[in-house]
Structure 1
Amino acid sequence: MGNKRLDWIDIAKGIAMILVIVGHTVPNPSPLRHAIFSFHMPVFFFLAGYTFRPKPWRELLSGSVPRLLVPYLVLALAWQMPTFLMSGASLTGGTLVAELETILFASGVDVPGFGVAAVGMAWFLAALFTSRLLFNVLVRLFDRHGIGAVWQGVVCAAIAFCGLSVSRYFGVYLPLDLDLSCYIVLLMWVGYTARQRGLEPSVGKPLLFIGVGVAWLVLAALSGLELSSRRVDGFVVATVAALAGSYCVCWVSIALEKLKDVPVLGSFEQALVFCGQASLAIFAIHAVDWFIPWQTMPLLMTLPASWLFASIVRCACDIGLAYVIKKA
Structure 2
Amino acid sequence: MENRGDEVQQKSARRQQAQGGGRLEWIDVARGVGIIAVVAGHVWTKGPFRDALYSFHMPLFFLLSGMLSRPQPPERFALRQLLSQMRPYAAFLALLIVADQIIEPMKGQRPIFNQWPEDLLPILLGGSWLRGPYTIFWFVPCLMVSRILFNALLSRWSDPLDRRWLITIIPAIVCAYAVGEMTKASLLGLLTVPMAFVLLWVGAAWQLVQWKQWMWLPLGGIGLAGLSGLLPTLNMKAADYGLPIFSLASAVATSVLIFRISVHLAPYGGWLAAVGRASLVIMYLHVAVIHYLSPHLDEPWLLLNALLLPTGIYYLLRATPAARRLFL
Q: What runs of 5+ residues in structure 2 fail to find an aligned partner?
A: 1-12, 105-109, 321-328
Corresponding residue for 2:56? Answer: 39
Equivalent position of 1:169 in the other structure: 181
Residues 6-62 of structure 1: CA distance to partner in whole angstroms, max 9, x if unpaired? 111111011111111111112x21111101111111111001111111211332034
Partner of 2:183, secondary structure, is coil
Label 1:149 to 1:84 Cα distance change in 2 as closer, same or farther (>3 A). farther
1:11 aligns with 2:29: yes
CA RMSD after TM alignment? 2.9
- Partner Cα separation in structure 2 for residue 282 and residue 210 of structure 1: 33
Cα distance in 2 for residues equivalent to 1:324 and 1:210? 43
Identity over aligned pairs, percent? 23
The residue identity in structure 1 corresponding to 2:182 is F
Give the structure 2 partner of residue 263 of structure 1: none
TM-score normalised by the chain length of structure 2: 0.78
Corresponding position: 1:124 with 2:139: yes
The answer on whether the counterparts of 2:74 and 2:152 sit within 8 Å (CA) in structure 1 is no
3-state DSSP class of the match of 1:225?
Answer: coil
Distance change in 2, residues 1:74/1:287 (3 Å): farther
1:1-328 matches, cutoff 5 A: 1=13, 5-26=23-44, 28-82=45-99, 86=104, 87=110, 91-96=115-120, 98-99=121-122, 102-104=123-125, 106-107=126-127, 109-110=128-129, 119-143=134-158, 149-153=162-166, 155-166=168-179, 168-171=180-183, 173=185, 175-195=187-207, 197-199=208-210, 201=211, 205=213, 207-220=214-227, 221=229, 222-257=231-266, 260=267, 266=268, 269-294=269-294, 296-297=295-296, 300=297, 306-327=298-319
Task: Find the aligned partners of 2:216 and 2:209 in 1 and give their Cα distance.
Answer: 17
C-alpha distance in 2 between matches for 1:154 and 1:219: 28
Structure 2 residue identity aligned to 1:214: G
TM-superposed CA distance for 1:94, in Å, is: 2.9
| In structure 1, distance between residues paired with 2:114 and 2:54 | 36
What corresponds to 1:303 in structure 2? none
Task: Describe the shift of the 1:147–1:55 C-alpha distance in structure 2 as closer, same or farther (beyond 3 A).
Answer: closer
Please tell me whether the aligned partners of residues 282 and 307 of structure 2 are also in contact (alpha carbons under 8 angstroms).
no
Q: Secondary structure at the match of 1:232?
A: coil
1:170 aligned partner, one-letter code? M
| Other-structure match for 2:107 | none
For 1:70 and 1:62, locate their aligned partners in 2 and report how far apart those are by CA, in whole Å: 12
Q: C-alpha distance in 2, partners of 1:211/1:29?
A: 28
Distance 1:278 1:243 in 2: 23
2:178 alignment partner, SS class = helix
Q: Is the 8 A contact 2:161 2:205 kept in 1?
A: no
* Residue identity opposite 1:135 in structure 2: F
State the distance in 1 between where 2:218 and 2:114 align. 56
- Equivalent residue of 2:118, what SS? helix
| C-alpha spacing 1:287/1:307, structure 2 compared with 1 (3 Å) | closer
- Shift of residue 274, structure 1, vs aligned partner: 1.7
SS of the counterpart of 1:15?
Answer: helix
Q: 1:285 to 1:147 in 2, by over 3 A?
A: closer
Offset of residue 150 of structure 1 = 4.4
